[in-house]
Amino acid sequence: MNIDRAQRLLGIISEDFRVDILCAPKTREQIEASLRQHGVVAKRERPLRPLLVFWVVLAMCMHRNLSIPNVLAKLLAACPRWPAGESRRPVTDGAIAHARLQVGAKPFRTFFEAVGADAALSSEPFFHGMKVRALDGTHLTMPDTKVNEERFLRHKASRGRSAWPQMRAVALVDVASRKVLCANLGTIKQGERELAVPLYAAVLPGEVVVDDRGFFRIEHLWQLNQRGVYFLSRIPKNTGLRKVQRIGKGDYVVELQGRRQLQPGEGMLRKSLRRGGPVKFRLKVRLIISRIRGCDKPVMLVTNLLDPKITARELAILYHARWETELCFDELKTHLATVTHGKSHTTFRGKSPELVEQEFWAMLAIYNLVRGRMADAAQHQGLDPRFLSFVDSLCILHDRLADIQKAPTSRLVQLARHLLAELAAATIDRPRRPRSCPRVVKVKMSNYRLRRADCTEIELDIERDLLLINKRLAS
């Protein structure tokens, strides 16, 4: 095998590499635009050009159980221009890591934002002709390195500290397609409410945003109402309310009272406001109180959807559509970023914050691309994309990668139709059921002591130790 020849060939392939099975009509242009925007340009002397590195990072998120060199080998094995007898490891592990650092995280964030914007435009109205967005947060783990811990921190626990550094992420998800529209990340010590503030701007007038009581803040609801955005929020039971009118059983019009900072350009009515103090406001909303069988505590919801044609029952049911975000996080963390035994049980594998953030934005982008193929298949067969199995669809895309990548142009249309039919047939055999489950774990403790910094490995020389033991026994 000639490594120099393989690297020259890799440089040629890197210039226009793409994975056809995941490419939407604008995917190639969006990737190239993201690289250009952040000044990431190809250097002729390097075999790993930015375009190939971009796809390697995206594929890493689809093949979390493979090592990074094996991910590159899998892509090259599916490439029709890569000779069958050529080495599929033309570069070292360090060269791949260096190429990833050269690309950085910013192009992946820009690419995800472009994909998320397309998802927002193509989403279907879900509730009374309105698009519904759901907001929720999660945490994700990463390798235990000093720089990761300094950047993202880690939880303190009753027995010491958490096993891995963690990041907190908040995402805005389209309920109809379960695609991630936008997201924000921070340290594990940052609250979800703080990270969610920039995401509210992505909800457009006439759309509905659904969130949990952890995000509740009266000032945020007032700002959404001023922009013409509808909200459906669960509120804590100690929220101060003033009842104005009873509409029906468990359905009221109430007033929320709060304080907010004056916006630039607003008039100063009193001298006290000139010093920059907060101003009081009142917000008229609808209060829905619902009870679920088996749950002692009532669910209290507030919304600015005051139209009486929208019933309290419909709004109570709509609130539970927020669980689409939980399913989205489950697909991301449990199925897309899953690992096999023997590897680090973390969501990400980057040992530096830059590589962790790179994987975060790449994971969201590839998730939307996979969901996009599922949405195409569902639309082709007149199905709801949420009732297609994400796990089965992911397996189908894995299996058909090489077939479509190596197929001649004359067969691409036929293979694309077969792929859509195969994805459409991958329906969920047991759809999600309305149920309530306690938050419990199977295994809580371990008999082994907690690993600390002084718990290092010990080098053994078994032959020498056996020789010494035999000499002692002989004497």
Placement of tokens 């026994």 in the chain: 473
Confidence bin at 344 (pLDDT 50/70/90): low
Domain annotation covers residue 446: no
One domain for residues 382 and 318: no
One domain for residues 278 and 154: yes
One domain for residues 215 and 252: yes
> Is the predicted pLDDT of residue 451 greater than 80, yes or no?
no
Q: Distance between CA atoms of 254 and 244, rounded to whole angstroms?
A: 5
Angle at the Cα of 99 (from 61 to 77), degrees rounded to 5?
55
> How many H helices and E strands in the chain?
16, 11
One domain for residues 324 and 377: no
Check residues 67 and 86 and name the one with the higher pLDDT: 67
> Is the predicted pLDDT of residue 274 greater than 70, yes or no?
no
> Is the predicted pLDDT of residue 434 greater than 70, yes or no?
no
pLDDT of residue 325: 92
> Is the predicted pLDDT of residue 363 greater than 80, yes or no?
yes
Domain annotation covers residue 52: yes
Lowest-pLDDT choice from 180-189, 319-328, 463-472: 463-472
Confidence bin at 404 (pLDDT 50/70/90): very high
pLDDT of residue 341: 53
Q: How many domains does the chain have?
A: 3
Domain end, chosen from 103, 134, 165, is at: 103
**Residues spanned by the domain of 60:** 3-103
Check residues 468 and 447 and name the one with the higher pLDDT: 468
For 117-168, the pLDDT digits (tens) are 999 999 999 899 999 999 999 999 999 999 999 999 998 876 678 889 999 9
Domain end, chosen from 425, 441, 459, is at: 425
Domain annotation covers residue 469: no
pLDDT of residue 27: 94
pLDDT of residue 6: 84
One domain for residues 116 and 74: no
Residue range 314-338: average pLDDT?
91
Lowest-pLDDT choice from 66-75, 77-86, 182-191: 77-86
> Is the predicted pLDDT of residue 191 greater than 90, yes or no?
yes
Lowest-pLDDT choice from 52-66, 223-237, 286-300: 286-300
pLDDT of residue 264: 63
One domain for residues 49 and 165: no
pLDDT of residue 260: 79
Confidence bin at 25 (pLDDT 50/70/90): confident
Domain annotation covers residue 434: no
The angle, 0 to 180 degrees and rounded to 10, between the axes of the packed helices 412-425 and 353-381 is 90
pLDDT of residue 51: 94
Residue range 350-356: average pLDDT?
96
Domain annotation covers residue 65: yes
Check residues 102 and 85 and name the one with the higher pLDDT: 102
> Is the predicted pLDDT of residue 268 greater than 60, yes or no?
no
One domain for residues 210 and 287: yes
pLDDT of residue 210: 97
Residue range 373-377: average pLDDT?
95
Residue range 56-74: average pLDDT?
93
One domain for residues 99 and 116: no
> Is the predicted pLDDT of residue 381 greater than 60, yes or no?
yes
Confidence bin at 309 (pLDDT 50/70/90): very high
Check residues 336 and 157 and name the one with the higher pLDDT: 336
Please give the structure tokens belonging to residue 261: 């900072």
Confidence bin at 279 (pLDDT 50/70/90): confident
Residue range 408-424: average pLDDT?
93
pLDDT of residue 161: 80
3-class DSSP state of 280: strand
3-class DSSP state of 42: coil
One domain for residues 187 and 60: no
One domain for residues 39 and 121: no
Domain end, chosen from 80, 103, 126, is at: 103
Domain annotation covers residue 142: yes
One domain for residues 171 and 259: yes
> Is the predicted pLDDT of residue 71 greater than 90, yes or no?
yes
Q: How do 208-211 and 132-141 pair as beta strands? A: parallel
Alpha helices in 93-239 (DSSP H): 93-103, 106-122, 146-152, 192-196, 218-226
Domain annotation covers residue 341: no
Domain annotation covers residue 474: no
Residue range 437-441: average pLDDT?
74
pLDDT of residue 259: 81
Quickly count: other Cβ atoms within 10 Å of residue 313's Cβ: 13
3-class DSSP state of 359: helix
Under DSSP, the state recorded for 449 is P
One domain for residues 96 and 119: no
pLDDT of residue 318: 95
Q: What is the mean pLDDT of the chain?
A: 88
The angle, 0 to 180 degrees and rounded to 10, between the axes of the packed helices 50-62 and 3-14 is 90
pLDDT of residue 44: 66
Q: Distance between CA atoms of 454 and 307, rounded to whole angstroms?
A: 64
> Is the predicted pLDDT of residue 352 greater than 60, yes or no?
yes
pLDDT of residue 420: 95
> Is the predicted pLDDT of residue 271 greater than 60, yes or no?
no
Residue range 323-342: average pLDDT?
84
